[in-house]
Amino acid sequence: MKIVALIFCSLIFSNTSWSADVYPNKPITFILAVEPGSDGDVLARPLMERVSRILGQPVLILNKPGAGSVIGYREIYNAKPDGYTLGWTSATILTNKLQGLSPLDYRDFTQLGAYATFFPILIASTTSELKFNTIQEVIAYGKASPGKINLATAGIGQSWWVAAKTFLTGTNLDMASIPVTGAGAAVAALVAGGHAELGVSGLASARSMLQGGQVKFLASISDGRAASPYDKFPTLQELGYNASWESTNAIIAPPNLPKNIASILIAAIEKAANDPEFIKFVNDRDARWEYQSPDKIVPSFDKRRETVKEIMQKAGLLKEAQ
């Protein structure tokens, strides 16, 4: 009987140890370093819902906005590298370090895959005292009255701020920039309220206000036009201005994530990102679906980093944190 009992206990212990080693065997926390309803939030949630189904574990979404996403990125970086804390990232992961806001950039995390690219648009208020109907009106008025237009942007040094600077530099315009706390959703709300005549936002964030008539779509600050029904609005490049900026969204984990866990997550994220329904979801929200494997993300960000570095140097903001 003692021998049987020992064997039974041994089997229980062995089975318990094996179960503890299986990944994942508990809920995963996913940190979004932006506010609810923002560009990054809009697409990350349905992606992670699919990842949750693939892995068979709940994925708990936590929004941790603030300081241009620095707060959320820091929390992801400091988390235990066990696969139970993941997070979202965008171009802010490189702008933060160049501006000196954080010692971290995309090289300091485990890359798990990119799934979509957001591009900025220029929107105009329909409730402000000064109103614009076309991008041509903006450029004509801006050249005739330097500094008279208020332009709402994301926080100084962040992705949509870079887009705004690209717009101003490319068109050789001078406007009063109004940086706001948060990302595209906060910019769109400010413009919709008439507190700024213009704003640089993501189309997904401004969509409800465009449909409600509080703001107008003037132009895309990107490589190509937005999808229907906004495809009638030009890009600045089409009008002859060298102004384009885009922000890739990707999934990251703390550094030193074990390769076996990373491989499980990479496979799940790739499968989720390639789901036809998710691809349609991305396209319907006027982002560009663009899956990138982890090995392609760093070279892509390296190239984009050079563009940002030049803009920040001209603006006197280049100061990489050490």
Kindly list the averaged pLDDT for each block of 10 residues, start to end, along the chain of length 322: 47 45 95 89 95 98 91 98 97 88 95 93 96 97 96 83 90 92 82 96 88 96 86 94 90 98 98 97 86 95 85 83 51
Residue 124 and residue 175 in one domain: yes
Task: Confirm whether 164 is domain-assigned.
Answer: yes
Residue 57 and residue 72 in one domain: yes
Residue 101 and residue 125 in one domain: no
Task: Confirm whether 233 is domain-assigned.
Answer: no
Of 220, 255, 271, the position where a domain reaches its end is: 220
Residue 104 and residue 251 in one domain: yes
Of 220, 238, 270, the position where a domain reaches its end is: 220
β-strands 288-292, 110-118 pairing: antiparallel
Residue 216 and residue 134 in one domain: yes
Residue 175 burial class via C-beta count within 10 angstroms: exposed 0-12, middle 13-18, buried 19 and up: buried
Task: Confirm whether 14 is domain-assigned.
Answer: no
Distances from the Cα of 180 to the Cαs of 43, 173, 226, in angstroms?
22, 20, 24
Task: Confirm whether 238 is domain-assigned.
Answer: no
pTM, entire model: 0.74
Distances from the Cα of 261 to the Cαs of 21, 52, 86, 154, 268, in angstroms?
11, 15, 12, 35, 11
* Number of domains composing the chain: 2
What residues make up the domain containing 272?
25-117+247-315
Residue 174 burial class via C-beta count within 10 angstroms: exposed 0-12, middle 13-18, buried 19 and up: middle
Task: Confirm whether 100 is domain-assigned.
Answer: yes
Residue 56 and residue 130 in one domain: no
Domain with 162 in it: what CATH number?
3.40.190.10
Residue 69 and residue 152 in one domain: no
Residue 259 and residue 113 in one domain: yes
Residue 251 and residue 113 in one domain: yes
Residue 112 and residue 152 in one domain: no
Domain with 304 in it: what CATH number?
3.40.190.150
User: Which pLDDT does position 236 carry in this prediction?
Assistant: 95
Residue 64 and residue 141 in one domain: no
Task: Confirm whether 231 is domain-assigned.
Answer: no
Please give the structure tokens belonging to residue 199: 């704003």
User: Which pLDDT does position 284 carry in this prediction?
Assistant: 85
Task: Confirm whether 128 is domain-assigned.
Answer: yes
Of 220, 238, 271, the position where a domain reaches its end is: 220
Nearest Cα residue to 203 out of 194, 193, 216, 195? 216
Residue 110 and residue 143 in one domain: no
Task: Compute the residue count for the chain.
Answer: 322
User: Which pLDDT does position 321 carry in this prediction?
Assistant: 54
Task: Confirm whether 1 is domain-assigned.
Answer: no
